[in-house]
Structure 1
């Protein structure tokens, strides 16, 4: 290997570090990749790329890169650290535990590593305990709730909620949330119960059209970024009789206003059952909520029962929406089997399987991602799989679709059209987690079923950090 190649590779790494410092994660990955192509024996190139992959939530790729760095240098502490974080992010706590132990062993004075190790040990114990006491089919969390007889807190000075949702209540609730106030628990339970019943009765794949004089807006992940949700409504109009919305999963977790987003979307769903559509995302699941903040937020702002009823309502949500027989909207993406059809989605009994698990149709709908290469590949996340343009083309042709619309991944411009126009990603959480310099986007669809992409910037919010309610500190370093 010529020394000029090593110098060139090192220069590319430096450029990658600069891009990383500016929160341009995809650019950083590109530079580190170019460095590795020039010289593939330097562990820091792989370890740095692992860190950028973590920022992109490509945890599977991060684990592979950290492992390669350790293959080149088994004493490389940073690589153990990054592999541990990536494994934690996809809930592989036992693997993470080994790596946190390796860090502490090599750096006994590293306080942060000791805290992470202790947190990881607690998580492993908690999960083992929960598994041990698990009952086959837990009773409904609503069973022991006598919502009618609950009192409204005496200090509540807002609009009252009776047996029907009103626009007046929603407007008042939004204003309260903007000021950091809450609504009474009785109303929270009323809203969740009403919406759980509504969405439970909907098919697994909801089928909608767009009538003359109306429009439908498709939004991607909002991830607890309540003030950015309000910016969408300010720019594009609030839900109304002529303007419906479809939110494509991941309303909650990470951002610290997840309960506010969920309650506003649910309130609109109750007011206009045919004007708001909600697809389930991979973060409307118990495993993710326990780690990424939603469970902790429910407990901090309301109580544990609120989380339990939200969880039950999430498992009732539809998994996909078909717009005008032309666009299939689902959170993650396509399937491991080319023979999977829209009819298979229609027939999927989501009520028998509350959580998506590690395999099967539901997991794939919530977790998969597109790739540029043909065929299928291992998931960059470490969960699910990736599908190429040929897979998308076959699926669309066999099912008479123009394209699939999915979310699930940050896109720096807020959206991306891939796979020869047949795979569209829309992401609606700008400046994601306050650290990624991405824009947000949403898609307006009119009666002609043409897609009109709108891009928007993040707006200021009160100084509460993302993951403020996470149950442990493990992910705070990511």
Structure 2
């Protein structure tokens, strides 16, 4: 019996082991599929983000075009951007900006004492945790003081580390104050023994950009030799117009917002380009190109920099245009080796790109990307990270994720929430090009069957939208596919449409206005210098004419005139353009983000 019992136990043990291995393999496959879905969603977010940045670069060109051609329409309005396109050489002195702004006794927010000390840093952190707003008087004083110190600094800051004085490098924060609080909680506040480099993109997207900027500036003023600020591509007035910082300032500082924006633009221009650590690590926001000349960059005018703020590393050798963003370049491992060897450097640390784990190492360990804004695209979309450096040792990476509702959600639910949001914004991009896509589909549909092969459909989507996405993998979320694997291409637009502000408007015009709504909002808000939200009919027509000419948007003038007249409901000669823009939103029918049985990305 002993032998029989032992044999039975052995068989049971083998069965249990096999079952465990099956479950383990299933779970690994399940987790891999979830990771693939997460990757596809991140790819959608990033592709659309970069396409918008490309549009932003074009918009900057348009503003120059507009300045050249707008004078004959409304000369007195040519100063449409007191705070943007030209630095005000005759800017009034500090007295007009700070001393004439009184802080009333009723103000119960933080009161800063100059010269600043670490006590003021603590005061600000506690106040901002309670969502208090710093008075404009102190904001302007901090910005003026910061600009004064920055003007004395070189283009590149040189920093030395030691075992007793490690250096912490943080990447993009993008107005996400909770991430900065998390970094300080985990890593300690800036001090003489705890130095930091913040590698650009402090502002935009998040709702607390001014709070982050003020904390960093005050910390810089207290510890000018131990807290270092590098410029990112979002430390730029035109970027702020599109991505939210300008709107945040004007909302929080209705009376003095314009003054704050004016001094901010000057401050941006004086931010250092980068940091060199221990004479062997280059820290810049974007990247390099094959023509990067550090000797030249040490003496160039800082506001003329583009490549190193916008460039991205890629696995392919060489240096080629950054078509995704529309600025800077893609640089390969050979370019990295060439530039680092030329200047006796060992590593490039950069930011500028969201990474799922908060950081990424590439180019044989010579390029490190660090990104400090967690949940950048969507709650649960990515972790944030920072790096600690010490001479003679390898970089150490620290990750975190600011969690709220998602902390109790299973991985499947977090991935679903993320991919649902990604598919939603992708469908909005699709519907904004409905007319162009329909024509492309029909040109491929030689038999007029209403169907295309998957490869034909994917070709049309990529050719029209230019998003460089894995369209075949995404197809199950975007279109109906028959049993033969053919795509019913008009289903690309099912259950989604653009809400028309004026029903009589031509559908092509509606699509075009929706496609460029962000650009139009920036342009018209710039014209609306008193921020009344009202645009004259003459301004509407003149600006649309310039816009369509520059962007080569072929919309008949009569359609625009008809739309303008229809929108002017009370016939007072003005258009409430802010409300007009809000009317161009995309309607998603039958949308239920928490539906349990969902189609996924892979």
- Partner residue in 2 for 1:326: 280
- Give secondary structure in 2 for the equivalent of 1:58: helix
Q: Which SS does the other structure have where 2:399 is aligned?
A: strand
Do the aligned residues in 2 keep the contact of 1:25 with 1:52 (CA within 8 Å)? no
Of residues 247, 263, 283 in structure 2, which corresponds to 1:309? 263
1:398 to 342, 346, 356: 342
| 1:299-448 mapped onto 2 (5 Å cutoff) | 299-302=250-253, 303-337=257-291, 340-350=292-302, 354=303, 356=304, 362-379=305-322, 380-435=324-379, 437-448=381-392
Task: Report how far residue 448 of structure 1 moved.
Answer: 3.2
Secondary structure of 2:140's partner? helix
Contact 2:97 2:140 in 1 (8 A): no
User: Per-residue CA shift, 1:196-223, capped at 9, x if unaligned?
Assistant: 1111111001111114511210000000
Cα distance between partner residues in 2 of 1:237 and 1:28: 31
**DSSP 3-state at the match of 1:434:** coil
* CA 1:241–1:439: 2 relative to 1, 3 Å: same
Moved more, 180-189 or 392-401: 180-189
The CA distance in 2 between the partners of 1:383 and 1:281, in whole Å, is 13
The farther-off stretch of 295-304 and 147-156 is: 147-156
Distance, in Å, in 1 between the alignment partners of 2:282 and 2:85 is 35
The answer to whether the aligner puts 1:58 opposite 2:50 as a matched pair is yes
What secondary structure, in the 3-state scheme, does the structure 2 residue paired with 1:443 have? strand
Deviation at 1:275, TM superposition (A): 1.4
Structure 1 residue 286: Cα displacement: 1.1
How far apart, in 2, do the equivalents of 1:301 and 1:430 lie?
Answer: 24
In structure 1, what is the equivalent of residue 248 of structure 2? 297
CA distance in 2, matches of 1:170, 1:476: 42
The RMSD of aligned alpha carbons is 3.3
Q: What per-residue deviation string (whole Å, max 9, x for no partner) do you get for residues 324-343 of structure 1?
A: 11100000000242xx3321
TM-score (normalised: structure 2): 0.56
From 234, 251, 258, give the equivalent of 2:202. 251
| Corresponding residue for residue 7 of structure 1 | none
Rounded to whole Å, the distance in 2 between the matches of 1:255 and 1:451 is 28
Query: Using a 3 Å threshold, how does the CA distance of structure 1 residues 455 and 135 change in structure 2: closer, same or farther?
Result: closer
In structure 2, the residue corresponding to 1:347 is in which secondary structure?
coil
Q: Is the aligned partner of 1:234 residue 2:185? A: yes
1:27 and 1:285 map into 2 onto residues whose CA distance is 28
Distance 1:135 1:94 in 2: 11
Contact 1:153 1:184 in 2 (8 A): no
Give per-residue Cα distances to partners, 1:230-261, cap 9 Å, x unaligned.
00110111112200110000000011100000
Deviation at 1:58, TM superposition (A): 3.3
1:433 deviates by 3.9
1:138 corresponds to: 88
Secondary structure of 1:218 counterpart: strand
CA contact (8 A) 1:141 1:305 kept: no
Larger Rg: 2
After the TM superposition, which of the residue ranges 315-324 and 449-458 deviates more from structure 2? Answer: 449-458
Aligned residue in 2 for 1:273: 224
Q: Deviations over 1:99-151 (max 9, x none)?
A: xxxxxxxxxxxxxxxxxxxxxxxxxx9xx956899986522645262523432
TM-score between the two structures when normalised by the length of structure 1:
0.69
Deviation string for 1:416-465 (max 9, x for gaps)?
1100111110000011043561111100112435311111112449xxxx
Deviations 1:35-77 (A, max 9, x none): xxxxxxxxxxxxxxxx55534x332xxxxxxxxxxxxxxxxxx
Matched ranges for 1:441-456 at <5 A: 441-448=385-392, 450-456=394-400
Which runs of 5 or more structure 2 residues have no equivalent in the other structure? 1-29, 63-73, 406-517, 526-577, 587-602
Cα distance, 1:142–1:428 mapped onto 2, change above 3 Å: farther
SS at 2:385's partner residue? strand
Corresponding residue SS for 2:325: coil
Taking structure 1 as reference, are residues 460 and 200 closer, same or farther at Cα in structure 2, changes over 3 Å only? farther
